[in-house]
Amino acid sequence: MNQELRETLVLLSRTPKALDALLRDLPDALTMRTEGEGTWTAYDVVGHLIHGELTDWIPRTKRLLEFGESKAFDKFDRTAQERESRGKTLGQLLDEFAKLRAKNIQEISGMKLKAEDLERKGMHPSLGTVTLGNLLSTWAAHDMTHLHQVSRILAHQYREQVGPWTVYLGVLQCNGHSS
């Protein structure tokens, strides 16, 4: 397997563990609150990551390998977690995310992709031509976007309490570009 891809898969294997260590059994006052109207809770983010494991990364990899640029990826539903997480606890979502991610990493590993495979092209419905390397790197960077968002959501719950320190806390200046 390509060395860069191997490293990406290591990072991808860490996200469920990191979110679990951070969020499981935290008080609802931290995990079930948003940054304001129209923004997500940490709970919502985990549901969104699950939906990605089910419908984004692996199905798009397969589409690209099978159809190249001739058949675009299906669009990604950014609000699916509103339906799909319903009735589930955060603990259940964390378990589900970990299980799906482990299975998906195994599936990608089994493809034994080489450097030249990462140059193969597919069609994104809005962005146009992308490579398999772009897609798999985005998988990891997308995890980091949402870890970045979760840390910002949690910090937001302390916005008032930190008082004058707010000016020193970079995360409180972050304008929500990753929600």
Name the residue among 106, 132, 100, 144 with its Cα closest to residue 4. 132
Q: Does 172 bind its own copies (CB under 8 A)?
A: yes
Q: Does 4 bind its own copies (CB under 8 A)?
A: yes
Q: Does 55 bind its own copies (CB under 8 A)?
A: no
d(CA 118, CA 9): 14
CA quadruple 23, 45, 52, 96: dihedral positive or negative? positive
Among 1, 2, 18, 98, binds its own copies (CB under 8 A): 18
With contacts defined by CB under 8 A, name the span among 40-48, 59-67, 84-92, 135-143 that binds its own copies: 135-143
Retrieve residue 132's tokens.
Answer: 């398999």
Q: Does 114 bind its own copies (CB under 8 A)?
A: no
Among 1, 2, 20, 65, binds its own copies (CB under 8 A): 20
CA distances from 18 to 35, 45, 111, 125, 162 (A): 21, 13, 26, 31, 25
Count of alpha carbons within 13 angstroms of residue 101, beta-carbon side: 26
d(CA 48, CA 97): 10
Hey, which residues between 60 and 89 contact its own copies (CB under 8 A)? none
Q: Does 179 bind its own copies (CB under 8 A)?
A: yes
Binding residues for its own copies (CB under 8 A):
4, 7-8, 10-11, 14-15, 17-23, 26-27, 29-30, 124, 127-131, 133-135, 137-138, 140-142, 144-145, 147-149, 151-152, 154-155, 158, 161-165, 167-174, 176-179
